[in-house]
Amino acid sequence: MTVTAVIGSQWGDEGKGKAVDFLAERADYVARFNGGNNAGHTVINEFGTFKIHLVPSGIFSQNTTGLIGGGVVIDPAVLIEEIEMLNKSGVGVDGRLWVSPRSHLIMPYHKILDGLYEEAKGAGATGTTRRGIGPVFADKVSYNGIRWTDFASDMFEQRLQVQLELKNKIISALGGEALKYESVRAEYRGYYLKLKPYIKELFSLVQDGLKAGKNFLLEQAMGTFLDTDWGTYPFVTASTTIPSAASAGLGIPPKYITNVVGVTKAYTTRVGAGPLPTEIHDYDSEVYKKFGEVAATTGRVRRVGWLDLEIVRTAVQLSGVTELCLTKLDVLSGLDELQVCIGYRLNGVGVRYADVDAYGLDKVETVYQTVPGWGEDIGKARSFDELPVNAQSYVRMIEEAAGVPVKWVGVGPEREATIRR
Ligand code: GDP
Ligand code: IMO
Ligand code: MG
């Protein structure tokens, strides 16, 4: 049995979706345990191209069962749309996708409040996805949340009434339009009826699976440095993103998590506000254009920067990463030389990521090592030996800094564009 957590070692969008898709070939269960539909995971395989927000990215492997743990927050309309889309695409999720009744629901007021809070913060805004993530997790930990269990125990109407009374006062005070009880009630009752066949307590299923030695793949959403505690607060997301979150978010005791795959992009990207020490600001440069990406969830342009080994090293330590999956190495082809950040200095003194807060991280001086690039297109390489020597050295430099092996190297967005070592 293996329980493998797949986590992003940077600020999200490292290519977790692709990694989970190919790792799921050997998984009995693939599970989401944190976040919500702020996640956008890209999967490209024989079924087509998908941007998935809630269903685990390993669902394409036909012998795998997908689990959405209680640690995930759910926008029911998004989940219904995703299930329908996957069924239409021939993936077939019925009978092998289960949603925890403990998961909290994103309500219309969460999305409204997310937007109103962001606007009130002005220049200090986080740059959220505006999916209601911060407000729904705030309600969860302040005992104001609404869960699927509330429908089964007939508490939904009562809880909704109280919440609408409270939330409408805040919304009106901030200049928003109050929500109407009856329309929200009817809308969410409708969602519940549609999703009821997928809602099932996961406790026995997970415990029996562990006992029977099944393989679990745990798919993190977001990245290490968006973690509420260890990320660049307040420029973070509202859930714990490090592997320990899988314990609470799915009900897997920590001792079972034996493997942690750290998905690492060969450069760095970030969406939204907050420090990005290696950010490239020359928007006309060849490298900026090469690294450029569009966010899978919001369509925003991702900020880009050089690879930051202090970030990767910190993520490996924090999450107990046992092996790395390096993605997008192919994107670096064609650059004469590459910059790699090997550490930070502040006021002339070496500092580590954890020594400074988000505002301090914005001020650190990045120490770069210049390494030679390679001209060859590596998209067709399927073994490490086929990579140009300088690309091999780049991979080895990461391994050395991280102290763990790079077991997979991504050379294209498709499932098969992967070197396994
Ligand atoms: P996630 O949120 O971590 O799943 O990552 P996203 O899907 O948001 O962003 C990663 C992007 O990189 C997507 O467009 C993927 O299709 C793409 N991608 C993943 N791995 C590779 C790779 O090795 N090479 C290339 N060129 N693209 C990749
Ligand atoms: P995946 O799983 C990248 C960022 C937002 C914003 C901050 C808070 O695809 O890697 P939120 O809506 O969560 O309150 O926004 O977190 N963010 C992500 N950035 N990838 C993600 O998910 C993200 N999910 C949230 O851009 O800066
Ligand atoms: Mg993403």
The structural domains of the chain, ordered by start, are: 3-100+199-261 (3.40.440.10), 108-195 (1.10.300.10), 264-420 (3.90.170.10)
Q: Any catalytic annotation for residue 13?
A: yes
Residue 41 near ligand 1, beta carbon < 6 Å: yes
Q: Any catalytic annotation for residue 281?
A: no
Query: Measuring from each residue's beta carbon to the nearest atom of ligand 2, which residues come in under 6 Å?
Result: 8, 12-13, 38-41, 126-129, 131, 133-134, 221-223, 226, 237-238, 271-272, 296
Evaluate the CA torsion angle 72, 75, 78, 83 in order and state its sign.
positive
User: In the numeric block, which tokens belong to residue 1?
Assistant: 């049995």
Determine the pLDDT at residue 400. 98
Q: Whose CA is nearest to atom 6 of ligand 1?
A: 13
Determine the pLDDT at residue 296. 81
Please, which pLDDT band fits residue 340 given cuts at 50, 70 and 90? Answer: very high
Closest CA to 23 of 50, 39, 4, 42: 4
pLDDT in tens, 204-249: 999 999 999 999 999 999 999 999 999 999 999 999 999 999 999 9
Exposure class string for 310-333: b at 16+ Cβ within 10 A, else e: bbbbbbbebbbbbbbbbbbbbbbb
Determine the pLDDT at residue 80. 98
d(CA 253, CA 22): 25
d(CA 323, CA 264): 10
Give me the chain's average pLDDT, please. 97
What is the percentage of the chain residues whose pLDDT exceeds 70?
100
Flag whether pLDDT at 299 surpasses 90: no
DSSP readout, 315-352?
Answer: HHHHHT--EEEEE-GGGGTT-SEEEEEEEEEETTEEE-
Mutate to test the pocket of ligand 2, among 42, 75, 129 (most ligand atoms within 8 A of CB): 129
Determine the pLDDT at residue 20. 98
Closest CA to 303 of 235, 356, 368, 363: 235
Determine the pLDDT at residue 238. 98
Determine the pLDDT at residue 300. 86
Question: Is the distance from CB of 202 to CB of 148 less than 8 angstroms?
Answer: no
Q: Kind of pairing, strands 307-308 and 337-346?
A: parallel
Mutate to test the pocket of ligand 1, among 44, 225, 327 (most ligand atoms within 8 A of CB): 327
pLDDT in tens, 303-338: 999 999 999 999 999 999 999 999 999 999 999 999
Flag whether pLDDT at 294 surpasses 90: no
Instruction: Collect all residues with Cβ–Cβ distance below 8 Å to 393 and sequence separation of at least 6.
Output: 371, 372
User: In the numeric block, which tokens belong to residue 32?
Assistant: 């989401």
Determine the pLDDT at residue 256. 97
Flag whether pLDDT at 138 surpasses 90: yes
pLDDT in tens, 344-374: 999 999 999 999 999 999 999 999 999 999 9
Flag whether pLDDT at 298 surpasses 90: no
pLDDT in tens, 272-292: 999 999 999 999 999 999 998
Determine the pLDDT at residue 293. 86
User: In the numeric block, which tokens belong to residue 59?
Assistant: 């669902």
Residue 223 near ligand 1, beta carbon < 6 Å: no
The atom number, within ligand 1, closest to the CA of 17 reads 4
pTM above 0.85, yes or no: yes
Determine the pLDDT at residue 164. 98
Instruction: Collect all residues with Cβ–Cβ distance below 8 Å to 102 and sequence separation of at least 6.
Output: 69, 70, 147, 148, 149, 201
Please, which pLDDT band fits residue 70 given cuts at 50, 70 and 90? Answer: very high
Q: Which ligand is the nearest neighbour of the Cα of 326?
A: 1
Question: Is the distance from CB of 333 to CB of 378 less than 8 angstroms?
Answer: yes
CA 155 – ligand 2 centroid, Å: 31
| Kind and range of the H or E run holding 303 | strand 303-305
Choose, from 21, 28, 41, 284, the residue flagged as catalytic: 41
Question: Coil, strand or helix: which one is 154?
Answer: coil
d(CA 249, CA 413): 29
Determine the pLDDT at residue 297. 82
Residue entry with tokens 């924090």? 318
